[in-house]
Chains A and B, each alone.
Chain A
Amino acid sequence: MNNHLHHEERGLAADVKQTTSVAAEKCYQCGKCSAGCPVASEMDLPPSLVMRMLQTNRPENDEKLLRSKTIWLCLSCEMCISRCPMSIDIPKVMDFLRRRSRDEGKVTDRAKDIVAFHDSFLLSVEKTGKLYELGLIAAYKMKTLHLMQDVTVAPEMIQKGKLHFIPEMVKNRKNIAQIFKKTIKAKN
């Protein structure tokens, strides 16, 4: 196993490096990222193990990473990089792995609610240019069928004047549509 540590990089680690300039091989497994990560205890693979698995260059580990729940549980809170003695940009690696996981259709079912939320959020932005919170909740419920969630919170939000019934819109929605067309929609 150790023989793989300093081998020429192939596979996922090489792609990570090429796209993000982050060198996984710099990690010496001190574990500060996993100790500081607020969601490490919920993850299937703590962040330090993600780095170690990248170092092994084994296709079966690459596959596990792309199908992990970890990459979707990462909150991008940046605690790991703040405490990393080698300043390894782990959040950037997570960004890359999420993108790759989605492109290759490997998003785990265990992350479907999280991804449904992101998709619902972006749908609102694509259509209105802004986040329409009521629309986001409706779209999320339709995608996940969590119909009963927050049924008590929403009326209280309305009563406190925190939810709009009519979305605020960007005037130049053509411009917003173009931005989506040239980025996320161009690749999907």
Chain B
Amino acid sequence: MIKIGFYPGCSLTGSSREYAESVIALCEAFNIELKQIPDWNCCGATAAHNLDKELSLALPARILALAEQNGMTEIVVPCAACYNRLSVTEHTLNADEQLRARISEIIEMPYEGTVKILNVIQMLQKYVVNELANKIVAPFDHKVACYYGCLLVRPHEILQFDRVEDPQTIDEMLKLVGAQPVDWAFKTECCGAGFSVSQPDIVGKLSGKIVKDAVDRGAEAMVVACPMCHANLDMRRPAINSYLKTTIDIPVLYVTQVLGLALGISREKLGLQRHFVPVKF
């Protein structure tokens, strides 16, 4: 049994709980135990980052400090936004001793910067990919548009994950379960992210361009690794359709749901019934 620390983040307990469900189901299938960081808090997301620098560092630092306190050396953070905020905080505080001391004082906890932060793809690459082939029962024989968004790949100097303009890791992983990734132009364009509520028209436009290109290139499904991307491409489909003046019914799946389907994990366990755009695979 492999044990990894787990930071679900707020979205995964609410609007994107199917992401958490599919991550957990997949880890179960590979004998990985995910141990939640006790008493974790919100990372602050875009709101903290937009309004106050110290707050945007202190909230993630509390999470990382709690992980350290509980003896965790490695945590998986499936939400791309949380992964980004935690990674940026770790990087910023490791590079600035004075700031780290100041943030430690704010959170009233020591913070050493020793926890390794993995996004969901890195976790799968490390613990799942090598054993994937033996477990496939239903190859995912569909054309997919792998959509990485912003926060999984940028800023590259800090995250050092995949290629910044034409990332490949999700494409390569899905090929292993029989999917055919399409070559397309909107892999890392922003979906409108945190504007889902405050500027729904902008989200309809930005996400609309992304969905349209995926469909134009022949994709049958879009695959994501971020709850905000998922919410905008799936839940905001009416705004997308109204921007495009047509009805597009391409479903949006989390990478963990696609892998789960290939392994024969039940649709309910993967939370496919929770999507707004029906998944008919």
Docked complex Cα distance between A118 and B49 (Å): 10
A38→B13 contact, CB < 8 A: no
Interface-located stretch among A10-18, A46-54, A57-65, A109-117: A109-117
Query: B14 — which chain A residues lie within 8 A by C-beta?
Result: 131, 133, 162-164
A161 to B202, CA, bound (A): 27
**Inter-subunit contact B50/A179 (CB<8 Å):** no
Contacts of B164 in A (CB 8 A): 82
CB interface residues, B 23-64, toward A, < 8 Å: 39-42, 44-55, 58-59, 62
Interfacial residues of chain A within 66-95, with CB under 8 A of chain B in the complex: 72-73, 75-79, 81-82, 95
CB of B192 within 8 A of CB of A75, answer yes
Closest beta carbon of chain A to B201's beta carbon, Å: 9
Residue B193 at the A interface, CB < 8 A?
yes
**Does B11 lie at the interface of the complex (its beta carbon under 8 Å from any beta carbon of A)?**
yes
The reply on A187 being an interface residue by CB < 8 A is yes
Could you say which residues of chain B place their CB within 8 Å of the CB of A163? 14-15
Chain A hits for B274, CB < 8 A: 160-162
A39 cross-chain contacts in B, Cβ below 8 A: 190, 202, 206
Name the A residues within 8 Å of B55 (CB-CB): 122, 179-180, 183-184
Count residues on chain A whose CB falls below 8 Å from chain B CBs.
56
Q: Is the CB of A99 within 8 A of B53?
A: yes
A76 CA to B48 CA, complexed, in Å: 12
Partner of A122, one of B10, B47, B107: B47
Size of the chain B interface, CB-CB below 8 angstroms: 53
Q: Which residues of B contact A183 (CB under 8 A)?
A: 52, 54-55, 58, 106
> A interface, by DSSP: helix, strand, loop or mixed?
helix
Across the two chains, which residue of chain B brings its CB closest to A83?
B165
Interface 9-residue window, one of B112-120, B149-157, B169-177, B243-251: B149-157
List chain B residues, Cβ under 8 A from A148. none
Task: Spot the interface stretch: A1-9, A24-32, A150-158.
Answer: A150-158
B190 near A184 (CB under 8 angstroms)? no
Contacts of A179 in B (CB 8 A): 55, 58-59, 62, 106-107
A160–B234 CA distance with the chains assembled, in angstroms:
13
Specify which of B17, B50, B165, B189 lies most central, judged by the most chain A CB atoms within 10 Å of its CB. Answer: B50
| Contacts from B to A (Cβ < 8 Å) | 10-11, 13-17, 39-42, 44-55, 58-59, 62, 106-108, 150, 154-156, 164-165, 188-190, 192-195, 197-200, 202, 206, 235, 273-276
A residues contacting B by CB (< 8 A) are 38-39, 42, 72-73, 75-79, 81-82, 95, 98-99, 102, 113-114, 116-119, 121-122, 124-125, 129-131, 133, 136-137, 140, 149-150, 153, 156-157, 160-164, 168, 170-172, 175-176, 178-180, 182-184, 187
Name 13 extra pairs, CB < 8 A, besides A75-B46, A76-B193, A124-B42. Answer: A38-B190, A38-B206, A72-B50, A95-B50, A98-B51, A117-B47, A118-B47, A118-B50, A119-B47, A122-B48, A157-B15, A170-B39, A178-B108
